[in-house]
A and B are shown apart, each in its own frame.
Chain A
């Protein structure tokens, strides 16, 4: 029951608290691209790949009391934090999930900013294109982000590292 919900709870039990909706969206997308079997459907949106299904699922988990959403008013922006509740952890224990170990990838993603993860996720969204066209496409669809050559280089490096982690199958074709 609620297997796809349980997969999200399992993600939080691995990474702890996630700050920012964009970061959460991109982390799940990147892990999915690495072969972690999250089922949420993604489409290209304002900040790159975005899943309405994931957004609704997170809300459902909050409504069920399995996850906690905290809204913090900062001086010029609002920040959302998400973590697992005790009820969520209990529900997770009763779920029979068969997921690969993706802790190393998740930790790698957690250590990066949402802006950078947006870049990595967007590059992965265009992974069917030849490599030299990926950067051009990203610049075309995200002209206002002004991504630098250094950021692209770092993103390629991270994608390479994600592929070489043993626990998952590497980047999946779309």
Chain B
């Protein structure tokens, strides 16, 4: 039997809190899970700094990747009897699902922003580079690694295959919504996935939903909407992320200005220099980042040590609602006042915006980039979801943005007798300082 078709002598299962069990029978999948590149995902949290708000959110990219694989495996078990489905694509789908987040690093969002990196490019590099993952994929057949990379990069010719992992209703979202809801402990984020999987039908370029499953899809869309605003964009987690980003900025700045670190930050040097190799990237995980933050608390540089202490001890910035348009003048005054009182505004006065579009659609003739969700009507006609569902229509195409201004209230209060600080506090209080707390 070829490696491609080789089955394990008995099925392996991973106990999973969301899907109960993750089932593995293909030798290729089992081998991929065992590689160092995949095991590294155990050391990268799925939700970055969210655990500082929702303490249960300690789950990893490893958990999520296995979950997406399992959802795709179940979708394929529904699809296998339908004419639009080519079962030769089965293993490709499973591999792409398992490996789709392989290139995520620790605290991806902040690292990507500061060091101008792209985790998707690293996913491609891990799959196509000199790695164990690559060797296993090429053992399936020459060119198979490229196919997996193309599916994940959305440049594979079969759009149906891409849509299972990346579309407005895909295995990735179905897993992370439920998993993140489970681990954060929130009550939103739940929907009837089993029902959705039962009513998914393969079409030429995407999966569609039998119209009888519309209400399950409504629930899924609403779950997504609520999870974004209640969990993913939570202002306290964003405060931690703001501090994390500023730590990285400060460390990079110091390195570029020949600052003598007490311990050479060897793991970060190529990040600071902008020449990160695949090996450098794979060596960095959250334990390494925490190790440096721990050390940097004792650095001479007051800004670096203070920011690291804040991050490690969860002494986060406070925030106010902030409209960049209405408050431009106040922003400029705050910026100069911060400088005047010796608090560097480039590190301690930070505007942060979050935006989301819960469901996008387009009408004939409009230029839409996201393929909408289609319902398959009893006469086989396809109708776009928001035309059939009042609930989905109500939130369709609506982008929501939240702007906040973050600052260290404790630091300001220490200088509360200073007249400039009084003015700063007056401006900030004018906008209503929010007392943040963990939920």
Q: Which residues of A contact B (CB under 8 A)?
A: 1-2, 5, 20-22, 25, 39, 41, 43-47, 50, 52, 55-57, 59-60, 63-66, 74, 76-78, 80, 87, 90-91, 94, 114, 126, 137, 140-141, 143, 174
Contact = CB atoms under 8 A, between A and B. Distances in A.
Nearest to A41: B118
A45 B366 contact: no
11 contacts: A1-B324, A1-B331, A1-B351, A2-B351, A22-B367, A46-B371, A56-B356, A56-B401, A59-B401, A60-B353, A91-B324
Contacts of A90: 328
Contacts of B355: 56-57, 59-60
Contacts of B364: 76-77
Contacts of B157: 140-141, 143
Interface of B: 112, 116, 118, 120-121, 153-155, 157, 323-325, 328, 331-332, 335, 351, 353, 355-357, 363-371, 399, 401
A174 B116 CA distance: 12
Contacts, number: 82
Contacts of A52: 357
Given A2-B351, A78-B365, A44 B324 contact: no
A39 B114 CA distance: 11
Contacts of A143: 157
Contact of B401 (A39, A43, A45, A60): A60
A64 to B, nearest CB: 4
Contacts of B121: 174
Contact of B324 (A56, A64, A76): A64
CB-based closest 10 A-B pairs: A77-B365, A56-B355, A59-B399, A44-B154, A64-B325, A50-B369, A22-B367, A45-B369, A60-B401, A78-B366
A87 B325 contact: yes
Most buried by B among A1, A76, A94, A141: A1
Given A47-B369, A137-B155, A94 B401 contact: no
A126 B149 CA distance: 13
A74 B324 contact: no
Contact of B325 (A43, A66, A141): A66
